[in-house]
A and B are shown apart, each in its own frame.
Chain A
Amino acid sequence: MPFVYQKNLITFSMIGLSFAFFAACLPSVKAQNITNITGVGSSFAAPLYQNWAASASKEIDIKVNYQALGSSAGKNQVIAKTVNFGALDMPTSTEQLTSANLLQFPTAIGGVAVVVNIPGIKENQVRLTGDIIANIYQGKITKWNDPKIAGLNKDIILPSIDIAPIYRADGSGTTQVFTSYLSKESADWKKNFGANTSIAWPVGMGGRGNGSVASTVKNIEGGIGYVEYAYALQNHLNTAQLKNISGSFVSINENSIKAAAKAADWVHAKNYSVDLINTKDDDSWPIVSTTYILLPVYSQDSKAVIKFFRWGFDHGDAIATQLHYVPLPIVVKEKIEKTWEYAGVASKEAKK
């Protein structure tokens, strides 16, 4: 008996020792010089940052752990300094930036698509205006063959079915952008509902997240909703044409979003808080927004964050386009580089 015990003991200790050896060896070889940074925030930008992170970790020894908890969570946590950067879908006010010692810069541009589900109507066939959409979401227009809609769409026959307005039920930057657009287009909307991450919708039903809004629109005949452009593409939803401020009807695609980005006044915008809604260009899509990064100025880790986003600006445009974001114009990227230097967060050795 004692012999058997001894034999077992030897076997176990051998196995244990070999595990211990590997455990001691492996990480020490691999984990050299890798900086870990964490970010929290916008779910709209999450695919972009996660894909950038996956590609960047191979090249620049920075491991980014990004969690899409929502824009407000990003702001809360970066102010509380529990994360290295926060990602937001809307600009933060200058007062708040200075009081919390934060730096803000944009990373990518995206469009919000208006999607519809009308039987017999194809992609980009139906034409709408901001005022009509505001009326639909206020419950003033309830049928698809309403004279106001039919007047704009004389070449197609709209069925007389109920309109089901669908919105984001969870607080979201997409809602903020969409309602800002409606507020600009309709004085009634501005007075009664305004713009916010979530508002008191008078009619319709809500879905949780872009995906849920997309599938609800797909599910319900007569539905209308708003989602990020990428979701409209992925779910093969029928987008609607919108009348932009120059008076022409445009459909949403990379070019019309790019046109809006170009037409915006980046030079004079303080802290990059540009307004990309209703930019004055013949081809520009009216509902466009940027997504931002917030990071603390006085923090050692901010240099790693900057290194990561510099990599993203230099090498990440292809990934961004693949994911249906529109990369920032080169002028803006150059301006951001200057901002980093001015704030003293840019690390010297990474500069090219």
Chain B
Amino acid sequence: MAIFQSKNRKNNQILPYLFTSLTWCSGALIILIFIGLIIELCWQGRQAFSVFGFEFITSTTWNPVKQQYSAGVSLIGTLLSSCIGVMLALPLSFGCAYCLSELMPRFIARYMTATIQLLAAIPSIILGMWGFFILVPLMSKYVQPFLKQVFGNVPYVEILFSGGTFGVGILTAGLILAIMITPFITAMMQESFANTPSMLKESAYSLGATKWEVMRHVTLPWVQKGVIGGIVLGWGRALGETMAVTFVIGNAHHAGWSLFTSSNTIASLIALEFSESTAGSLKMSSLMALGAVLMMISFIVLFCSQLLLKQVLKSR
């Protein structure tokens, strides 16, 4: 025994040293990779940035024949489709989370939660295929003609629902994104609902408040920031989504007001054009610059979400 202990003590001098240096290394590596990625993208995209300047972001032309590239259309497409996704996912996941944590019996809620978590595990390409074969025909046959009929004569709004009803487009992409990010937002919200002190709720109930009143005046103010954090996290995911969007957005370089027009997102444009870009060409450089733009947007969104989350933690 004595020998064993002394051996162990000897190890103790090396192991902690090894352990700390290893963890330092992994920490530093992550930061190095992150910085390296940004530098690499900007460096590879320098040609595009220097040729087009600020117009790379504001212009909407993408013409490989004339060697004119810009991020405009895909930037709008990225922001618009992810915004639609978040807007559709928000009420859905709020209802889901509230129902699961407040209304349903515990044992059903447990299985339902697992099901929603499984939804998050569906690979995006499967959702894309489902969207392409099921959602697109549904949209073109029923949803889009219906929307056109309802809003077709409303001034100013009609422009959002004009154009051919082919099923693909920004709206369909937003729908797919909404389905993709709902589980994430739901999970965040459920967490904040669960963290609402039951004392507060019970005292409200004891004062004769209805379920609606408790939700409106007690739970909602309490979970507000958690909800915002969930939205931003979901949004961050929607921004970078590639495959599912590529299937349903129509992949066109058009910028229009209509939600039915085919458009493009940065991620899907890069995925589509990358294999046919010659190394060192302006096109390749533009794709790299697009990557840098996307990274910056995602960075801003995630940064905001971190700030919000910090506030949530502080308020508790």
Contacts and interface: CB of A to CB of B under 8 A. Distances in A.
Contacts of B277: 72, 171
A129 B166 CA distance: 25
B65 interface: yes
Given A197-B64, A205-B166, A205-B250, A70 B262 contact: no
B167 A219 contact: yes
A199 B64 contact: yes
B168 A69 contact: no
B275 A171 contact: yes
B252 A72 contact: no
A205 B173 CA distance: 13
A47 interface: no
Interface string A206-247: 111000100110011100000000000000000000000000
Interface in B269-287: 271-273, 275-279
Interface of A is mostly: loop
Contact of B278 (A76, A172, A195, A201): A76
Given A72-B276, A219-B133, A169 B65 contact: no
A212 B133 CA distance: 11
Contacts of A194: 65-66
A38 B192 CA distance: 54
A70 B283 CA distance: 15
Contacts of A76: 278-279
Interface string B163-192: 010111000000000000000000000000
Q: Which of A73, A162, A171, A212: most chain B Cβ within 10 A?
A: A171
B150 to A, nearest CB: 20
B145 interface: no
Contacts of B247: 208, 212
Interface string B222-239: 000000000000000000
Contact of B272 (A162, A171, A220): A171
Interface in A89-114: none
A256 interface: no
A200 interface: yes
Interface in B30-77: 61-66
A75 B278 contact: yes
B81 interface: no
A185 interface: no
A206 B137 contact: no
B140 interface: yes
B166 A164 contact: yes
A164 B235 CA distance: 31
A216 B132 CA distance: 8
B305 interface: no
Interface in B240-281: 246-247, 250-254, 262, 271-273, 275-279
Given A164-B166, A199-B65, A220-B167, A70 B137 contact: no
B275 A72 contact: yes
B136 interface: yes
B252 A201 contact: yes
Interface of B: 61-66, 132-133, 136-137, 140, 164, 166-168, 246-247, 250-254, 262, 271-273, 275-279
Interface of A: 69-73, 75-76, 80, 162, 164, 169-172, 193-201, 203-208, 212, 215-216, 219-221
Given A171-B64, A171-B272, A205-B250, 6 more contacts: A72-B275, A76-B279, A164-B164, A205-B262, A219-B132, A219-B137
13 contacts: A73-B275, A171-B64, A171-B275, A171-B277, A172-B276, A200-B61, A200-B65, A205-B166, A205-B168, A205-B250, A212-B247, A216-B168, A219-B167
